[in-house]
Amino acid sequence: MFQFITKRSLIVNILVAAFLAFAVFFVFFQLLDWITKHGDYIKVPEVKGKSIDEARKILNAQGFEVEVQDSVYYDSLPKLSVVKQSPDPEQMVKINRTVYLTVNRAQPPMVTMPNFVGQPLRSVEMQLKTLGFKLGDTTFKPDFAVGSILEQLYNGSDIKPGTKIPMGSRISLVIGGGVQDIEMAVPDLVGMTFGEARVLLETNGLLLGAVVVDGVITDSSSAFVIQQNPPRRDEEGRPIRIRGGQLMDLWISKQMPLKDSTDKPKPVARNDY
């Protein structure tokens, strides 16, 4: 074999080598279009809204590769359904192109609950939407902080900031409704247990202010109210009026106070002429 090559002149060998190289490159480039399917385009089918398994079958049947690129969560869409696809539907692409899918998650992600207390309602509504929560029931409670959030509730119970709950959960809010216009007599809380006094305050739309503890108390709910501010009557014995949304301060003790059974309004001094 080598003798056949060596018997020929150098120029002939160079020409033969050049011809063979040209032939190899020519055949390669002729086959390249067939190998890569250059010029063969196909329309991307619509798979949004279909399950991931169904979408994969449709795309694979038409020669596409499939890759799940991302996942999101919408409680209004079926679980594990296709939310987004790239390339878009009806777009003309090459055969064997990879179609990237975004799929709706089977389980909602857990989201950390922020602290909404003290914030205005409008700001909280925007934050709820951003975090993927839903606004539940809204109730108004007499309070000086008009329009501010007083309590945040999940499933009817107070939820602490930092608690993780599923995205899409409903958060109910208690909102400050301001001071009421209707006046009432200051209730007599002295002698009640602290638990009874709190219920009475809430029933009348009054707010619990400062709580001063007298002595050592292990169970505050069973302690007794020994003093209140404002009191029932002023120095002249006239009933004091209060509005819903105003504060009442209480002093509590484990000892029941002795109430004056003759607690009656004092006569108002009159000047007779």
> What mean pLDDT comes out for the span 123-131?
94
pLDDT in tens, 72-96: 998 889 999 999 999 999 888 887 8
> Hey, which CATH number is domain 183-253, 3.30.160.100, 3.30.10.20, 3.40.1080.10, 3.40.50.2300?
3.30.10.20
Q: How far apart are CA 245 and CA 58, in angstroms?
A: 63
> Hey, which CATH number is domain 110-176, 3.30.2350.10, 3.30.10.20, 3.40.30.10, 3.40.50.150?
3.30.10.20
Which pair of tokens denotes residue 118? 């003290």
| pLDDT confidence of residue 25 | 63
Q: What does the H/E/C string look like for the chain?
A: CHHHHHCCCHHHHHHHHHHHHHHHHHHHHHHHHHHHCCCCEEECCCCCCCEHHHHHHHHHHCCCEEEEEEEECCCCCCCCEEEEEECCCCCEEECCCEEEEEEECCCCCEEECCCCCCCEHHHHHHHHHHHCCEEEEEEEECECCCCEEEEEEECCEECCCCCEEECCCEEEEEEECECCCCEEECCCCCCCEHHHHHHHHHHCCCEEEEEEEECCCCCHHHCEEEEEECCCECCCCCECEEECCCEEEEEEECCCCCCCCCCCCCCCCCCCC
Which pair of tokens denotes residue 4? 């056949």
Domains 41-104 and 110-176 share a fold: yes
110 pLDDT exceeds 50?
A: yes
pLDDT in tens, 180-190: 778 899 999 99
pLDDT-derived band of residue 226, with 50, 70 and 90 as boundaries?
very high
| pLDDT confidence of residue 75 | 86
Q: How far apart are CA 97 and CA 40, in angstroms?
A: 11
Q: How far apart are CA 202 and CA 184, in angstroms?
A: 14
Phi-psi region of 63 (alpha: psi -120 to 50; beta: other; left: phi over 0): left
| pLDDT confidence of residue 269 | 43
Stronger pLDDT, 243 or 11, i.e. the higher one: 243
267 pLDDT exceeds 60?
A: no
Do the beta carbons of residue 44 and residue 93 sit within 8 Å? yes
Q: How far apart are CA 133 and CA 127, in angstroms?
A: 8
Range name among 20-24, 66-70, 191-195 with the lowest pLDDT average: 20-24
Q: How far apart are CA 261 and CA 99, in angstroms?
A: 86
φ/ψ of residue 210, rounded to 5: -75, 145
> What mean pLDDT comes out for the span 158-186?
91
What is this structure's pTM?
0.55
Stronger pLDDT, 2 or 166, i.e. the higher one: 166
| pLDDT confidence of residue 180 | 77
- The ranges assigned to domains in the chain are 2-36, 41-104, 110-176, 183-253
Give the dihedral sign, CA 122/124/127/128: negative
The fold of the 41-104 domain, in CATH, is Trypsin Inhibitor V; Chain A (3.30.10)
Q: How many CA atoms lie within 13 A of 268 on its CB side?
A: 5
| pLDDT confidence of residue 49 | 92
Q: How far apart are CA 224 and CA 194, in angstroms?
A: 6
- The fraction of the chain above a pLDDT of 90, given in percent, is 53
21 pLDDT exceeds 90?
A: no
Q: Of 140, 205, 203, nearest to 172 (Cα)?
A: 140
273 pLDDT exceeds 50?
A: no
